[in-house]
Structure 1
Amino acid sequence: MENIIIISGKVKYTITLDPGVWIFDDRRVDLTTFFSTKLENSNSLEEYTKAVSKHWDREIMEGAIYPPTLKSEKKFEKEKVLTGTFGIPFRPFLLNSEPASDANTFIIHCTEGEYELPIETAYDLIMGFSNKGKPLTSDGPIHVYLGDGSNQHSPIKNVKSFSIK
């Protein structure tokens, strides 16, 4: 239970986060390249359309059977998951908690103290949950990175919970 993180305070729904399952989440991002690449704002319908189009083109060119390249792609993806350094955007979790309209402060509670941020900044946070394929056990369960990457080399560690005022 020490790995469970709660979002509470001026929210409609108290949210419980378990970083142990995020490795299976498609929203995960590779932290080794995330801050060095330009973040694009694109909608999910556009991404879905591109993915379906790519799959359709592949079936037209190669046929509907699964070519050997798909097997090697899956193996590469599995290897990447087992050795990668990953994080997950905080926005969906914060949106699901539905902060009150008068909420303006986001607080990160850590073992060594608290960090206060404007709630608008909290929507862009990235929560790191693995380093080289291993969970963050010594100073985790998560590390918090600011969306602009300004604390990329010194993230907020030993996070215990989040609250909104």
Structure 2
Amino acid sequence: MIVQLTGKVNYPITLDPTVWIFDDRKIPFDELTQSIEKKENKVDEADQTALRLDREVFQQKINPPVNKSISKFEREKILKGTYVMPIHDFIQTAEIKSDAAIAKIITDTSNETISLKKLEQSYLLFSVDGKPVKDKGPVHLYVMDESDLSEPIKGVKKIVID
């Protein structure tokens, strides 16, 4: 149930998605789909700039993650939700080397190749209804430049930066 981030990085990382359920950086899957719908409806460049700024400010607020106290109600809600984790922070921690250009997504059945820019904007689905992803798990990768969220890369076992 782990995912390795290796290749042309200064610090190879082993990700354990089973511990992300109480991480403050997680995002409910519903919020992710709503943000995509909003982006599709807005074509104004000024709005896109404002969204980018909001995202950067939001990222600054959640780095580093803080384990805040949660109530029993919040805990029950968390343990029943479907969540994704932005991969951006993990990529920053790994420190990709300057000569890297692509990312190879290794699964049980195939290898997919995406650009580093697409990888940085991607999210890892790690929890469905409060449980770890069992069906083609441990994580599914949602590439955010795609408007169709119905086709993630499933069964991600390793991400190799090349």
Q: Which of 43, 50, 53 lines up with 2:57 in the alignment? A: 43
- 1:3-82 equivalences under 5 Å are 3-37=1-35, 38=38, 40-43=54-57, 47=61, 74-82=71-79
- 1:66-145 equivalences under 5 Å are 74-145=71-142
Letter of the 1:29 partner, please give it.
I
Cα distance between partner residues in 2 of 1:122 and 1:114: 14
Please list every run of at least 4 consecutive aligned residues from structure 1 whose deviation after the TM superposition is greater than 3 angstroms: 44-48
Query: 1:44 offset after TM fit, Å?
Result: 5.0
RMSD: 2.0
Cα distance between partner residues in 1 of 2:75 and 2:5: 31
Query: 1:135 offset after TM fit, Å?
Result: 0.8
Cα distance between partner residues in 2 of 1:45 and 1:88: 12
Decide which structure has the larger Cα Rg and report it.
1
Q: Does the aligned pair in 1 maintain the 2:11–2:93 contact within 8 Å? A: yes
Query: 1:119 offset after TM fit, Å?
Result: 0.7
Letter of the 1:136 partner, please give it.
V
Query: 1:150 offset after TM fit, Å?
Result: 2.6
Instruction: Please identify, of 104-113 and 144-153, the stretch whose mean Cα deviation from structure 2 is larger.
Output: 144-153
Q: Does the aligned pair in 2 maintain the 1:145–1:151 contact within 8 Å? A: no
Query: 1:45 offset after TM fit, Å?
Result: 8.8
Instruction: Please identify, of 35-44 and 91-100, the stretch whose mean Cα deviation from structure 2 is larger.
Output: 35-44
Q: Does the aligned pair in 2 maintain the 1:35–1:149 contact within 8 Å? A: no
Q: Does the aligned pair in 1 maintain the 2:118–2:145 contact within 8 Å? A: no
In the alignment, structure 2 segments of 5+ residues that lack a partner are 39-50, 63-69
Residue 60 of structure 1: aligned partner: none
Letter of the 1:13 partner, please give it.
Y
Q: 1:75 to 1:149 in 2, by over 3 A?
A: farther
